[in-house]
Homo-oligomer: A and B are copies of this chain.
Amino acid sequence: MKLIDILDATPFGIGYRLAFLTNFWREPILRQMEKDFGIIRPELTVLMCLSFRDDVHARDICEVTEQPSNTVSRGVASLEKKGYLARTRDTDDTRRQVLRITPEGRVMHDKIMTRFAQAEQKMLGVLSKQEQTDLLCLLDKVARDVENWRS
């Protein structure tokens, strides 16, 4: 009995394969990331948001990622302690704090992103360039439509 056989028995072949691939692609890297760098999932989430756009508030990260505020709060606090982000009080609203990634934070972020990218390439090795393009296109179509189907 293999996992892929159970997979085949379900009435949601695409969904299950999505979950299957996500698990085998992402989870090992997240575990390794924690082991090698001491960075855990919610910290990476914050790091990715700050890498994409500087000077955001914790609240923004909550909204974009749909993470609970306490999770983001802990991620921000621990990243600051590690020197990967800096926070300053917002002068307009002193409840808020402006978050910014540090150079060290960006280095760490890029290192982790590279791992994901390399693992992706390895995962897609069985597909031709054209097939990879097709797959990306199909996934993108569904992902962009998310607001129409999410429950």
Which residues of the other chain, B, contact A113 by a CB distance below 8 angstroms?
Answer: 10-12
Closest Cβ–Cβ distance, residue A104 to chain B (whole Å): 20
Complex CA–CA separation, A126 to B148 (angstroms): 9
A94 within 8 A of B: no
Q: Give how many copies assemble into the complex.
A: 2
Is the Cβ of B136 less than 8 Å from the Cβ of A3? no
**Size band of the A side of the interface?**
35 or more
**Chain A interface main SS type:** helix
Q: How far is the CA of A4 from the CA of B52 in the complex (A)?
A: 12
Q: Are A142 and B117 in contact (CB under 8 A)?
A: no
B53 to A1, Cβ gap below 8 A?
yes
Interface residues of A in 122-145 (CB under 8 A from B): 122-127, 131-132, 134-136, 138-145
Q: What B residues does A26 contact at CB under 8 A? A: 15, 19
A60 in the interface (beta carbon within 8 A)? yes
Interface residue ranges of A10-29 to B (CB < 8 Å): 10-22, 24-26, 28-29
Q: List chain B residues, Cβ under 8 A from A2.
A: 64
- For the complex, what is the distance from the CA of A144 to the CA of B24, rounded to whole Å? 12
The answer to whether residues A144 and B48 also contact, given A116-B12, A135-B135 and a CB cut-off of 8 A, is no
Given contact pairs A1-B64, A127-B141, a sample of 8 additional A-B residue pairs in the complex whose CB atoms are under 8 Å apart: A12-B116, A14-B136, A16-B116, A17-B136, A17-B139, A20-B143, A21-B142, A126-B145
Which 5 pairs from chain A and chain B are nearest by CB?
A: A17-B139, A12-B120, A15-B120, A126-B145, A11-B117
